[in-house]
Amino acid sequence: MALQSVLKTFSAQIPWPDLHSHVKERNTIQLNHFVGSTPSFLIAKLSQKYDKVVAIHGDPESAQFMQGDLEALDVEHASYFPETGHKPYDDQQITDSSVIVQRSEVLE
């Protein structure tokens, strides 16, 4: 498959020993200067080594794109945990129950 070939080529460019030592020290990684689907390739490779990998995005659209990329790369349990959109202290706000259901399904 073409995606697996790209993943293999991408993986060869990453300094894995440095990355793994950083994860052991801090237990986190912050990605800068990654474009397009390259964060998804890195997370796909990390998910092969680590049981739990969490990616946090600043906007819902990017998170959904990453979920789609990870599913295309055959990463198991790639889930999107949507934001609630809840504004604290807003008594007039109407709660969208579909988002609550979607979040609970991810947690199961």
Query: From CA 32, how far away is CA 14, in angstroms rounded?
Result: 14
- 8, 9, 7, 25: which is closest to 17 by C-alpha? 25
Cβ neighbour number for residue 87 with a 10 Å cutoff: 8
For residue 88, give both structure tokens.
Answer: 């604290």
Spell out the alpha helix ranges (H) of the chain: 2-12, 16-26, 38-49, 60-72, 97-107
* Strand residues in the chain grouped as ranges (E): none
Which pTM does this prediction carry? 0.76
pLDDT by residue for the chain (108 residues), tens digit each?
Answer: 688 888 888 888 888 888 888 888 888 888 888 888 899 999 999 998 888 888 988 888 999 999 999 999 999 888 888 887 777 787 777 777 787 788 788 777
Tell me the domain boundaries of the chain: 2-82
